[in-house]
Each structure stands twice: as structure tokens, then as C-alpha cells.
Amino acid sequence: MAIRRIGVLTSGSDGPGFNPCLCAVVRMAISLGVEVVGVRRGFTGLMNGEFISLSARSVGGIVHKGGTFLGTSPSVEFAGRRGQMEALRNLNEAEIDGLIVIGGDGTMRGAQQLHELGFPVVGIPGTIDNDVPGTDFSIGFDTALNTALDAIDRIKDTATSLQRAFLVEVMGRKSGNLALMAGLAGGAEMVCIPEQDFELDDVARTITDAYVKGKAHCIIVVAEGARFNATAIADYLQQRREEAGFTVRMTILGHVQRGGSPSAFDRLLATRLGAFAVERLVAGERGVMVGLVGNEIVATPLAEVIAHPKAIDVGMFHLAETLAK
């Protein structure tokens, strides 16, 4: 079946780069003679039929803006069969022949459900967590990493002036990818992530060792999904403050990591993935997610993408440990 009109939605958590991706989707589709309908508020909007017609002008002036101009909603709401049926009904009524979905692993699961119901779907990975298999980087990760890194650099300035240890908690849900890369790039003394087990005492020892070595600060980057989060570690260290050497402070970076103008890398990634996704959908490809592997843009079956969680690069973890001397 020829594709004459496609829909596009952003689902789950937003991230910097979603807007340039939407711009690329819309303009590539128009250049191929395909109409585009925007779905507001992700899968929730799909189930409610919240559609708007998009033109080249409706996506003008947005490439530098964070968030997603279409809005989004938690992808978990798409789980029920009833909701999926409503979505299909709305898509058919609006004469939409194919759908592009932008989001994280939950969104890719929703896309796979639609694919299994026979609707043409292509996914694009967008999440600051960078935990979606089938791509080296997801849209939003690079900007969030730079935001976290900027915060770590600033914290290091004040930590050094007052000779303090800081616990810096970074987002990432169940993944330690963002924390690991922020810790490595930020020269952290220790990185605590869900993928590598650690004891509270390991953190205490790292802080004491840094003090005894004569360091002027000690930065511990903690992934929010680690076995012990920054609050739990801070509580433990509070009880043993005599042994720490450094005074300990904690900063939870939170949602500042999700906002802001997308980096050049994220804009380029978003643009390449958005354009390629439309080309694949119009060419007849279905049930795949597009991603960047090496320097190639490739398509991977959604079934493969959602089969296993993405592993961290253990070599990077050991490198961070080795360099934290």
C-alpha cells in the first residue's frame, strides 16, 4: 500500500532534540509528497484522536528549542488492548497510512504493539537515559550529558574551595549510562551505577582515601537507579562523618537534565534519524527502529530492540576507576 499520509508522535519522557527530529520528519515527508499529521500528547492523544495537520511552516523556528512542541504522555497508558483498538480506529478514520513514534524503550514497546496489530510503524530512539538498544546514542542523551557535566564542573569549583566531598545524583532510570559518562568526563573519584554492585562502605572508603591522598575535593557521581541513591549514601556518611575527612554535601540534578536547547550533536542526530525514518516508512519498511551504529544510520526490528535492556560499556566503567587516582 502506498503511503500518502503519515502521523508522528512523541511519547514518554521528553528530551532535548525532539523538536528538530519533528522538523526533519515533517519536511522530509513533504519533500516526498507525503502529508503529515501531528498527534498531540503521545499515545494518549492517539487514543483520543488529538490530531493536527502539520506543514513545513508549523515546524519552523523550533530546532533550537528543548521539549516537544507536540506534548507527550507516559507511554504506559498505551498498554491495554482497548486503547490500542481506539488508536487504530482513530488512525483509520484520519486516513493515516503509517506512524513515526519518537521516545524511549516504553515507547518502542508501544510501537511494537501497533506493528503486531498490522499498522505500519517506524520508531526513533529519544531519551536522555540512552538505554535503548539498536543505537549508540538516543536523542537527548548528549545534551543531558553536557548539562550534568556542566553541573559537576561547577560543583567541583566550590568543592575545591571548601575542600568538600559531593554526591551528585544523575538521572537515568534503571540505566547507569548517563552517570557513567558524566563521571568519566567529569573526572569523578567514583561512579555508582545499577550495573555495578557496591557497598556503602566502598563510598566511605573512597572519600577517606581521597582526603588522605591530599585531594582538594572528592566527587562521587551516583545514578538515580543505583543500589543506593545519593540520599541513602548521604545518610550513611552522616553517621560516619568523623572518618570521612571531607565534609559531605549532596546535589540531585533532577529534571534540569531533561530541558534546554539541544546540543549540535543531538540536533544532527535528530535530523538524520527523523529524515531516515520517513524514507524507510515510505519505502515500505515496517516494525523497525532507526538508530546510529558507528557512523551509519541503520534500521533494527523493534522486536529485537525491546528484547533485552541495553548494556553499559563495562570497559568505560573500569577506565573511570583506573583514572580516579
**127 belongs to the binding site for ligand F6P (CB under 6 A):** yes
> For the CA atoms of 49, 55, 56, 57, what is the dihedral angle to 10 degrees?
-100
* Minimum CB–partner distance for residue 85 and ligand F6P (Å): 26
**258 belongs to the binding site for ligand F6P (CB under 6 A):** yes
Amino acid (1-letter code) at residue 62: I
- Positions marked active-site: 129
Smaller CB distance to ligand F6P: residue 73 or 90? 73
* Minimum CB–partner distance for residue 127 and ligand F6P (Å): 5
Residue 181's closest CA among 152, 156, 145? 145
Q: Which residues contact 246 (CB under 8 A, 6 or more apart)?
A: 163, 164, 165, 207, 210, 211, 217, 218
Choice from 20, 45, 83, 104 touching ligand F6P (CB under 6 A): 104
**168 belongs to the binding site for ligand F6P (CB under 6 A):** no
**164 belongs to the binding site for ligand F6P (CB under 6 A):** no
Nearest position to ligand F6P, beta carbon:
171
**13 belongs to the binding site for ligand F6P (CB under 6 A):** yes
* CA dist 260 → 66, 68, 151, 172, 269 (Å): 5, 11, 14, 17, 16
* Minimum CB–partner distance for residue 173 and ligand F6P (Å): 4
- 124's enclosing H/E stretch is strand 121-125
Q: How many residues does the chain have?
A: 325
Smaller CB distance to ligand F6P: residue 54 or 191? 191
User: How many residues at the interface with ligand F6P, by CB under 6 A?
Assistant: 10
* CA dist 175 → 27, 71, 104, 226 (Å): 33, 24, 12, 8
**274 belongs to the binding site for ligand F6P (CB under 6 A):** no
**138 belongs to the binding site for ligand F6P (CB under 6 A):** no
Q: Which residues bind ligand F6P (CB under 6 A)?
A: 13, 104, 127-129, 171-173, 224, 258
